[in-house]
A and B are shown apart, each in its own frame.
Chain A
Amino acid sequence: MQRFIIIRCFQALIVLFIVSIIVFALARFSGNPVDVFLPFDATDAQQLALERHLGLDQPLPLQYLKFVGNVMRGDFGDSVKWDGQTALGLVGQRFPATLQLAAIAMGISLLIALPVGVLSAVKKDTIFDYIGKVIALAGQSLPPFWLGIVLIFIFAVALDLFPTSGRGGGTNLILPAITLGWFQVAAMMRLVRSAMLEVLDTEYIKLARIKGVQEWKVVWKHALRNASIPPLTFFGIIAGQLMTGAVITESVFTWPGVGLLAVDAIRARDYPVVQTVVLTFAGIYILSNLAVDILYAYLDPRIRY
Chain B
Amino acid sequence: MEITAPARKASWYSPSGLVNILREARRYPLIPFAILLAVLLIPAFFAQNIAPHHPTRGQFAERLTPPAWQEGGSMKYILGTDKQGRDQLSRILHGAKYVLIVSLTVIAISGVVGVSLGLIAGYFGGRYDMLIMRAVDIALSIPAILLALAIVASRGPSFGTVIFVICVILWSRYARQVRGEVLSIKNQDFISRAQVAGSSSFRIIVRHIFPNVVNSIVVLATLQVGFVILLESSLSFLGAGIPRPTPAWGLMVAEGRELVNAAWWVSFFPGVAISLVVLSLNLMGDWLRDRLDPKQRNL
Contacts and interface: CB of A to CB of B under 8 A. Distances in A.
B141 A141 contact: no
B275 A142 contact: yes
Interface string A140-152: 1111111001101
Interface in B204-262: 226, 230, 233-234, 237-238, 250, 253-254, 256-257, 260-261
A120 B137 CA distance: 32
Contact of A263 (B226, B230, B238): B238
A3 to B, nearest CB: 16
B271 A14 contact: no
Interface stretch (A25-33, A49-57, A68-76, A294-302): A25-33
B238 A269 contact: no
B142 A282 contact: yes
Interface residues of A, number: 51
Given A278-B143, A278-B146, A281-B146, A190 B257 contact: no
A146 B299 contact: no
Contacts of B238: 247-248, 251, 263
A150 B278 CA distance: 17
A143 B253 contact: yes
Q: Which of B134, B233, B260 has the most CB of A within 10 A?
A: B260
A143 B275 contact: yes
A95 B226 CA distance: 31
Given A15-B134, A143-B271, A143-B274, A244 B154 contact: no
B151 interface: yes
Query: Binding site of B, secondary structure by majority: helix, strand, loop or mixed?
Result: helix
B78 interface: no
Contact of A197 (B149, B274, B283, B298): B298
B149 A262 contact: yes
Contact of B138 (A18, A150, A247, A267): A18
A244 B144 contact: yes
B185 interface: no
A153 interface: yes
A240 B140 contact: yes
Interface string B127-155: 00000001001101111111101111110
B142 A19 contact: yes
A285 interface: yes
Contact of A140 (B150, B226, B233): B226
B141 A285 contact: yes
A149 B256 contact: yes
Interface string B7-23: 00000000000000000
A140 B150 CA distance: 26
Contacts of B275: 141-143, 146
Nearest to B249: A143
Contacts of A278: 143, 146-147, 150
A105 interface: no
Interface in A124-154: 137-138, 140-146, 149-150, 152-153
A102 interface: no
A146 B271 CA distance: 6
A266 B153 contact: yes
Interface in A26-68: 26-27, 29-31
A22 interface: yes
A166 B71 CA distance: 32
B147 to A, nearest CB: 7
A180 interface: no
A297 B98 CA distance: 45
A152 B260 contact: yes
A143 B233 contact: yes
A141 B260 contact: no
A296 to B, nearest CB: 15
A282 B234 contact: no
B88 interface: no
Contact of B253 (A138, A145, A274): A145
Nearest to B256: A149
A161 interface: no
Contacts of A143: 230, 233-234, 237, 250, 253, 271, 274-275, 278
Nearest to A145: B237
9 A-B pairs with least C-beta separation: A146-B271, A30-B154, A141-B279, A141-B278, A266-B149, A194-B298, A31-B154, A266-B153, A30-B153
15 contacts: A14-B134, A15-B141, A26-B147, A30-B154, A137-B279, A143-B237, A143-B250, A157-B260, A157-B261, A157-B264, A240-B141, A240-B143, A251-B238, A252-B257, A262-B149
Interface of B: 134, 137-138, 140-147, 149-154, 226, 230, 233-234, 237-238, 250, 253-254, 256-257, 260-261, 264, 267-268, 270-271, 274-275, 278-279, 282-283, 298-299
Given A164-B260, A194-B299, A262-B149, 17 more contacts: A137-B282, A138-B279, A140-B282, A141-B278, A143-B234, A143-B250, A143-B274, A143-B275, A146-B271, A157-B261, A240-B141, A244-B144, A248-B237, A263-B238, A266-B146, A266-B152, A278-B150
